[in-house]
Amino acid sequence: MSWETVIGLEIHVQLSTDSKLFSGGSTSFGAEPNTHVDLIDLGLPGVLPVANRGAFYKAIRFGLATNAEINLTSTFDRKNYFYPDLPKGYQITQMALPVIGKGSIKIEVDGEEKVINITRAHLEEDAGKSIHDLFEGETGVDLNRAGTPLLEIVSEPEISNAKEAVAYFKAIRQIVTFLDICDGNMAQGSMRCDVNVSLKKTGDDKLGTRAEIKNINSFKFIEKAINYEIGRQARILESGESVVQETRLYDSVKNETRSMRSKEEANDYRYFPCPDLLPVVISDDELNEIKNNLPELPNEKEKRYIEESNLDISEAKIIASSKTMANMFEEACAKTDDSKLIANWLVGDISALLNKDNIDLEESKLTSNNFAVLIERISDKTISGKIAKSVLEEIWESGGSVDEIIESKGLVQIQDESLIEEIALKIINGNPSQVEAYKDGKDKLFGFFVGQVMKETQGKANPQSVNEILKKLLS
């Protein structure tokens, strides 16, 4: 039997507001447990939540960037469930009338474009965290995260395989980071996703029964969890049995998914309108203000880089695809106007290092200021491209500042032509047989002389001068 995979993603994006969705508590990451907890986050009797308008503005940015319906009036509901990290016994979320309705986003897999429709994006509060590995035999509860604003972005079940799911997640991450509404830091849990997977007979209209894999926070695990789940469900269906609708978790150590609990129905949550919060109304003026201040998105940057900075399409695409790389490009361009040189380094050496280490630029030790200085030193001829490469490699491994590395290692390029000429003469006089062979027409030997001069100067001679001087001396 042949099966088609159907996937829908629910992505939770932590919005980068300073304070929480309904309280003045701080949202900053990594504080001592239970130090960023307001009375409202604790859900003490008698306290009342107040909606954070800033979270709405950020949600609306997302709506505008995904051509979505914007609901200028939206409402909050209570989703009731019991869990130790949820002090109130319910989560405030938007069920009936979310701030963002239907939208869409483009993804690209192996050069093929596909549009994935977004069902909705609603605001809700994050829960706290249960800590299982701090106390022997006991569980700790840290409520710092409780009340952090989340935008939950729900896709239609239109994703067809693990690669598309990863591309979709990456596209959402790209948009939210460019919009400056989320830091995109997956290791810190700023973006997590629930993956819904089902199989159906090829060509069938009716969707199969799905399993929902909860709370995955890396590209790699999304891909692995989906592929594992496809295999598991195919085996069940092939043997004539049915898939159970349930919530599963992905165990990255064993690379498998395991059942957590049978799937709740919406009515298990006893949703009802939150009586503590009025509908939130965003005015047309506010909407226009958000529209007018929408940050530049990757496709706009791409166009600008081609038109203003003279990059070719492939360079512009790579650089505009990551917020950090785009920032690096723009900061370096502000210092040195050789945009082609800057693009070459980003698309060439730096992308190669990123691939080698399989990391994002923001995870590397290279800062945009350091990169700008590196380019400046190449461009003002303090160092050659070759030396720049070794400086970059050093920064990549251990950080540090470009100028300090150049200074402490004595890497400044030799520009002094009389010095280069002196060294070149020494090489020529020391290698009479090569000189003779070269003069007899063995042109390839020119590289030998260049190499020797470079070796003698530890790579520091200005390569252009070396070439010119050797040509002159050997003619």
Binding partner of 7, given ligand ADP, Mg ion, none, CB within 5-8 angstroms per partner class: ligand ADP
Q: Where are the alpha helices (DSSP H) in 114-271?
A: 162-178, 219-238
Chain centre distance of CA 344: 22
Residue 13 C-beta: closest distance to Mg ion, Å: 15
Residue whose CB is less far from ligand ADP, 10 or 338:
10
Using CB distances below 5 to 8 A depending on partner kind, what does residue 87 bind out of Mg ion, ligand ADP, none? none
Q: Under rule CB under 6 A, which residues in 176-205 are in contact with ligand ADP?
A: 196-198
Look at residue 210 and give the partner it binds from ligand ADP, Mg ion, none, a contact being a CB closer than 5 to 8 Å depending on partner kind: ligand ADP
Other Cβ atoms within 10 Å of 116 Cβ, number: 24
The residue from 207, 260, 297, 437 that contacts ligand ADP (CB under 6 A) is 207
Q: Give yes or no for a contact between 452 and 431, defined as CB atoms under 8 angstroms apart.
A: yes
Q: Which is nearer to ligand ADP, 37 or 165 (CB)?
A: 165
Residue 456 to residue 421: CA distance in whole angstroms: 12
Q: How many residues bind Mg ion (CB under 5 A)?
A: 1
For residue 37, the minimal CB distance to ligand ADP (Å) is 28
Nearest-angstrom CA–CA distance, 12 and 84 = 20
Q: Which of 66, 144, 155, 233 binds ligand ADP (CB under 6 A)?
A: 155
Nearer to ligand ADP, 159 or 342 (CB): 159
Rounded to a whole number of angstroms, the minimum distance from the CB of residue 206 to ligand ADP is 9
For position 456 contacting ligand ADP by CB under 6 A, the verdict is no
Q: Which stretch binds ligand ADP (CB under 6 A): 77-85, 206-214, 215-223, 267-275?
A: 206-214
Where b means 16+ CB within 10 Å and e means fewer, 238-257 reads: eeeeebebbbbebeeeeebb
CB-nearest residue to ligand ADP: 8
The dihedrals phi and psi of 17, each to the nearest 5 degrees, come to -80, 160
Q: Rounded to an integer, what is the distance from CA 332 to the centroid of its chain? A: 21
Mark the segment that binds Mg ion (CB under 5 A) among 2-10, 77-85, 301-309, 432-440.
2-10
Measured CA to CA, the distance from residue 445 to residue 213 in angstroms comes to 63
Instruction: Indicate which single residue of 6, 59, 311, 347 sits in contact with ligand ADP (rule: CB under 6 A).
Output: 6
Beta strands in 183-310 (DSSP E): 191-201, 211-216, 246-251, 256-262, 272-273, 280-281
Q: To the nearest whole angstrom, how small is the minimum distance from the Cβ of residue 214 to Mg ion?
A: 8
Using CB under 6 A as the binding rule, whether residue 154 contacts ligand ADP is answered as yes
Report the site for Mg ion in 413-472 (rule: CB under 5 A): none
Contact of 63 with 99, CB cutoff 8 Å: yes
- Residues sharing a CB contact under 8 Å with residue 171, sequence separation 6 or more, in sequence order: 105, 106, 107, 116
**Binding stretches for ligand ADP (CB under 6 A):** 6-10, 154-157, 196-198, 207-208, 210, 212
**Binding stretches for Mg ion (CB under 5 A):** 10
